Amino acid sequence: MNVTLSVETAGQRADQFLAARLDGLTRSAAQKLLEEGHVLCQGRPLKKNDRLKPGDQVAVCIPDPTPVELLPQDIPLEVVYEDEDVIVVNKPVGMVVHPAPGHPDGTLVNALLFHCGQSLSGINGRLRPGIVHRIDRDTSGLLIAAKNDGAHLALAQQLQDHSLYREYEAVVLGNLREDQGTISLPIARHPTDRKKMAVNHSSGRPAVTHWTVLARYPGYTHVQCRLETGRTHQIRVHMAAQGHPVLGDPVYNGLRKGFPELAGQCLHARRLSFQHPRTGERMTLSSPLPAYFQTVLTRCSRLV
């Protein structure tokens, strides 16, 4: 695939420019394209640390992707519930849900293939078997996967009509003025940084988050967040838009200074409730706050 990009801002490094402008391209992948001579500016090969200037035309030749062989891997899973139709796991911080550029294996999907064999739905394609919804790599907590197409379709419908209940807990920066509220702000891909999402009133998709204060500390607030919709980075974007980014969030300015136990944002998918696709029974599952989250709350309580 060939792409030509126009440079508008002076001083950007070539690798940073590519990672920001090409959706799904990591900085390391951008550097590899540059090192292999796949990126030209005004007809000459670019190096990763070359600085670009307004008006430059950057031509990128993206090679056809190498087929990924999705293999089962014996990765420990904390299974909260499982039957012939669904499996609910408690995902740890740092685990990617499905293979993506820069993460070809070691994902939750690789672990599910080992645990479930071929009993995973195929609706979301070969690289995402069983995956109905996702949570971010550095978010912990409950995630449900479907073990057959019928279950997948039923759960997907519950996501669409908002009857699949997803509740999170987070520690955010600052002190929220009210005790509870609702954030209804549309979300779209960030216009310049393709690895981020942003509030966008013209092209964003509707997004609604309900929040409740659980505890207040000097400079921090422990909140519960209930998703009505499920946009990428929704809680992180919505809380940051209110001036209260999630603690430890490296993308949306949730500074983690003083909290060395944080590998990413302090955000945990605490509860999940759904109608069982076969029996119709309403099922509600929960997971305790992980050790890193409890340590953060302990540190916050010492500030009082």
Q: Which residues are catalytic?
A: 136
Helix segments in 73-182, DSSP class H: 108-116, 149-160
- Beta strands (DSSP E) in 161-276 are 165-173, 180-184, 187-189, 197-199, 208-217, 220-227, 267-275
Instruction: Record the tokens describing residue 160, joined without a space.
Output: 């669409």
CA distances from 176 to 52, 56, 215, 221, 222 (A): 41, 45, 10, 7, 10
Residue with tokens 């838009």: 241
What's the token pair of residue 85?
Answer: 């139709």
SS3 88: strand
Cα(84)–Cα(76) distance, integer angstroms: 20
- Give the burial class of 300: count Cβ atoms within 10 A of its Cβ; 0-12 exposed, 13-18 middle, 19 or more buried: buried
SS3 114: helix
User: What phi, psi does 159 have (nearest 5°)?
Assistant: -60, -40
**Rounded Cα gap, residues 40 and 96, in angstroms:** 32
Contacts of 208 (CB under 8 A, 6+ apart): 182, 183, 184, 227, 228, 229
